[in-house]
Structure 1
Amino acid sequence: MRNIKTQQLRYFVAVYNVGSITAAAHQVNATQSGVSMQIREFEDRVGMPLFERNSAGVVPTKMGDLVYRRAIRVLREMDELQNDVSAHRGHLVGSVRAGIMPTFARSVLGPTLMEFSEKFPYVDVQISEGYSETLTRRVADEELDFAVVPAGPLPVGIRSSHVDTDLELLVESNLDGKATDGFTHLATAPPLNLVLPGTGNARRKGIDQYLENTCQSKHAILQLDSMMTTFDLLERGNYASILPGCLCISKFDDPKAKLSPIRDPILTVDYLLIEPETRAKSTATSAFGELLCHMIRKSCADVRERFSVA
């Protein structure tokens, strides 16, 4: 197989991941005809068909599966080679496109940006805030270099690594600011008006299972994908919510908020760093990702210590 182009490998991987030449063309900013031509030329060089075409799109052949596993390694190695060269040109430069959930936008993101910008002033950091479903799609489309999301199903073309485990907390308002009698046990609590994220949020499945299998009461649910409005409702009273501990650190010493770990059993959320399978992180992206993950781990440790959970 001589003279295989890097572009052909990238187009092939994009088509494999999305199962459609048209969708892949949109992802790589090329024309449908251009991608189709490059895929056929690639197949000619390989000497075997890599996809079966049908009205719904394309399906990889067994040879296509084999070539895909090799192709993603080749592309990653090429990215790493470019990163190695760039890393020896003096100051760390480049750009970082990171996806952040509201959980971290409200807690660890500010300190992370301040420390990172002081250490690496020539790196351009671009932050996109969103919920897990949106961030995962944007990573798969290579619009983001990485994102940190709750653990859940991931599409083809994304690799992940575990960051840390956080506690889910029941958050209620305590408008009069008076001392409360210990924690609220969600399993035995009377009916509550719960504000929960939409079903596209990776945390929602675990929360629904807990409410269905463990809780004695039937709680009313308001579905809301807006963290600012969720906190607004909590502060007005009559509503409660189930939120990650890292999101609630600023409320630990707020007398108008009551925070209760969800126990019997403990409800947790795992955080994953996800990134495109074929892309190696640049030196700048690695530096920012490592600092962000360090801040997240520190916050998770603070939450576990606060509620005496090892």
Structure 2
Amino acid sequence: MRQNPRSIQLFVAAYEEQSFTLAAQREHATQSGVSQHVSDLEDSLGVKLFSRSIGAVQPTPAGTAYYSACVEFLKAHEMTLRAIEPFKGSRQGEIKVGMTPVMTRAVLAPAYARFTKENPNVTVRIIDSYFGELTDRVRSGELTFAIVPSSIGSKGVRTSFFASAPEMLVSGRMSSFQHCKPVKLADLPPLNLAIPGQSNARRKLIDAYITSNGVGIKSFAEFDTMAGTMDLVSRGEWATILPMMMIANDIDTGKYNISPIEDPPLILETFVIEPARKSMSDVALDFLECVKEEFAFSIAKATQLLKQGRH
């Protein structure tokens, strides 16, 4: 049997999922079909790509070496097909993008509005979720890319730096903190702090900062709902920690006291993840650039408003 893109695609899915059943579900094939394609590949190559056991498959050293080459092959194959796209008329198609709540609250809407106005024939679908689920959906190929607050590597996923933002202490207007004035968290009285749950990638960042800098905590409230967190904080007894671009539109509303965290600052880094076996289309790259521009605009806007608020 000659190697072909479909057989290689099914092999890559089986390698990344380490299961013929999961690979079949991901690629809309049958379990027996995936197994047969892999067996035919092994026969044609003259080596075993997987060692098989009940309920699982493990790649052999030959399988791992072959996988690395297959990822590059699939990416190159997709680029050859895309080379003719400019000759088909106006830009069209669909991209499916994953974002966590820190991106969807303030950055997404203006980026989406501008991009879709400039590209009316392109459909952009947004999935709002958390790091673990977005990573799984990127690896499966369901998402074109996602922007996440973690650089933890994952098989089948390519990661690149996107942007960074300082984190802010956000409290209700009736709190004792002065709006726009920087704070050193270790010097504050113990806080009632609303934070994301353990499954949220930002939780590890916040926990590490609190522990390493001796921040006093009176009590924690785990909230994985942004609307609920902001409502709780607005009532005055609780505070939370949010990245600057997320609260840029709240600084001059008079509803919250927003305090930059300093000595040391707490910095959130965000990353783009995409399927390792694919290359991002020009349309997807343009949308990503729109998001990056709006991210930078939100940071600049927040920085200026905070500076004005101190005077």
Task: Please report how far the alpha carbon of residue 306 of structure 1 lies from its aligned counterpart in structure 2 after TM superposition.
Answer: 5.7
Task: Please report how far the alpha carbon of residue 131 of structure 1 lies from its aligned counterpart in structure 2 after TM superposition.
Answer: 1.8
Aligned to 1:14: 13
DSSP-derived class of the 1:153 partner:
coil
Distance (whole Å) between structure 2 residues aligned to residue 89 and residue 166 of structure 1: 40
Distance (whole Å) between structure 1 residues aligned to residue 159 and residue 234 of structure 2: 36
What RMSD in Å do the two structures reach over aligned CA positions? 2.0
- Assess if the C-alpha contact under 8 Å between 1:87 and 1:283 holds in 2: no
Distance (whole Å) between structure 2 residues aligned to residue 44 and residue 304 of structure 1: 62
Relative to structure 1, the CA distance from residue 66 to residue 306 in structure 2 (aligned partners, 3 Å threshold; closer, same or farther) is farther
Relative to structure 1, the CA distance from residue 82 to residue 180 in structure 2 (aligned partners, 3 Å threshold; closer, same or farther) is closer
Deviation string for 1:186-234 (max 9, x for gaps)? 1221121111111111111111011112134234111111111111111
DSSP-derived class of the 2:15 partner:
helix
Relative to structure 1, the CA distance from residue 273 to residue 59 in structure 2 (aligned partners, 3 Å threshold; closer, same or farther) is same
Aligned to 1:34: 33
Task: Please report how far the alpha carbon of residue 182 of structure 1 lies from its aligned counterpart in structure 2 after TM superposition.
Answer: 3.0
Task: Please report how far the alpha carbon of residue 302 of structure 1 lies from its aligned counterpart in structure 2 after TM superposition.
Answer: 4.2
Q: Does 1:99 align with 2:105?
A: no
- Assess if the C-alpha contact under 8 Å between 1:136 and 1:154 holds in 2: no
Question: What are the ranges of 5 or more consecutive residues in structure 2 without an aligned counterpart?
Answer: none
Q: Does 1:294 align with 2:293?
A: yes
Task: Please report how far the alpha carbon of residue 11 of structure 1 lies from its aligned counterpart in structure 2 after TM superposition.
Answer: 0.8
Kindly report which structure 2 residues correspond to 1:118-197, keeping only aligned pairs within 5 A, or say none.
118-175=117-174, 180=179, 182-197=181-196
DSSP-derived class of the 1:273 partner:
strand
Aligned to 2:275: 276
Relative to structure 1, the CA distance from residue 178 to residue 220 in structure 2 (aligned partners, 3 Å threshold; closer, same or farther) is closer
Distance (whole Å) between structure 2 residues aligned to residue 151 and residue 301 of structure 1: 23
Question: What are the ranges of 5 or more consecutive residues in structure 1 without an aligned counterpart?
Answer: none
Q: Letter of the aligned partner of 1:8 in structure 2?
A: S
Relative to structure 1, the CA distance from residue 59 to residue 222 in structure 2 (aligned partners, 3 Å threshold; closer, same or farther) is same
Relative to structure 1, the CA distance from residue 48 to residue 307 in structure 2 (aligned partners, 3 Å threshold; closer, same or farther) is farther
With normalisation by structure 2, the TM-score equals 0.92
Task: Please report how far the alpha carbon of residue 307 of structure 1 lies from its aligned counterpart in structure 2 after TM superposition.
Answer: 5.9
Task: Please report how far the alpha carbon of residue 244 of structure 1 lies from its aligned counterpart in structure 2 after TM superposition.
Answer: 1.1
Distance (whole Å) between structure 2 residues aligned to residue 176 and residue 266 of structure 1: 21
Identity %: 33
Aligned to 2:223: 224
Aligned to 2:76: 77
Aligned to 2:198: 199
Relative to structure 1, the CA distance from residue 178 to residue 165 in structure 2 (aligned partners, 3 Å threshold; closer, same or farther) is closer
